[in-house]
Amino acid sequence: TLISIVFFVGYDWWFGRKDGRTLGKRALGLRVAMLNDGSVPPSGAALGRAAMLWLPALICCPCLWQIVLIVSILVDKPYKQGLHDKVGKTVVVTA
């Protein structure tokens, strides 16, 4: 579990700071952008977002953490930010 989470944090961080698009986001025509100006997230913001997205799965059941993230996205207004987006001060937008 630890190795896979380290991989996912690295994957999300790398593509987040590169152009804001993981392979899945690229396929769906989405990207991660900074909330304040729409730019590609800098390394620190991308790492904070990736860590909040994946690391809590070590503490609790990974399935439960995904449900918490989905609920946080559904109830947030107006930007539909998940907890991981709030940590990184990012938002997911169409590319």
Residue 33 above 90 pLDDT? yes
The arithmetic mean of pLDDT across residues 58-65, rounded, is 83
Residue 31's pLDDT band (cuts 50, 70, 90): very high
- Under 8 Å between Cβ of 69 and 84: yes
Instruction: Report d(CA 95, CA 46) in Å as an integer.
Output: 17
pTM of the predicted model as reported, rounded to 2 decimal places: 0.90
Residue 73 above 80 pLDDT? yes
For residue 61, the model assigns a pLDDT of 79
